[in-house]
């Protein structure tokens, strides 16, 4: 895929930090910026999914029975893991 070129104003201190980081990592400044943007987008998307999960849980919380079953499963899993010869 062909990359698009953009221009953005950037604080000189941040630019200096980016240059230092890119040299330390042996990457081009643009690659560091692309990676940072990709991480940011992924973080925002994950935060939205968490927000949706919390909202749906508030709208339809688990019953006491579901809670008890989940707690029992957690205890059994902990016991099984404790018996594993790690």
Whether the per-residue pLDDT at 86 is higher than 70: the answer is no
Q: What is the Cα–Cα distance from 10 to 8, expressed in whole angstroms?
A: 6
19: which residues sit within 8 A by CB, 6+ positions away?
29
Task: Give pLDDT tens digits for 25-45.
Answer: 999 999 999 999 999 999 999
Q: What is the Cα–Cα distance from 39 to 17, expressed in whole angstroms?
A: 18
Question: Residue 19 in contact with residue 33, Cβ under 8 Å?
Answer: no
**What's the whole-model pTM score?**
0.64
Question: Residue 21 in contact with residue 32, Cβ under 8 Å?
Answer: yes
- Tell which residue, 26, 7, 79, has the closest CA to residue 71: 79
Predicted pLDDT at 37:
96
Length reported for the chain: 86
């Amino acid at each position: 895929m062909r990359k698009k070129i953009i221009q953005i104003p950037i604080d000189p201190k941040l630019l200096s930090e980016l240059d230092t980081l890119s040299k330390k990592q042996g990457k081009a400044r643009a690659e560091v910026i692309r990676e940072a943007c990709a991480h940011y987008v992924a973080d925002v998307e994950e935060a939205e999914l968490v927000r949706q999960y919390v909202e749906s849980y508030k709208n339809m919380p688990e019953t006491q029975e579901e809670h008890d079953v989940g707690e029992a499963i957690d205890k059994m899993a902990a016991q099984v893991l404790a018996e594993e010869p790690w």
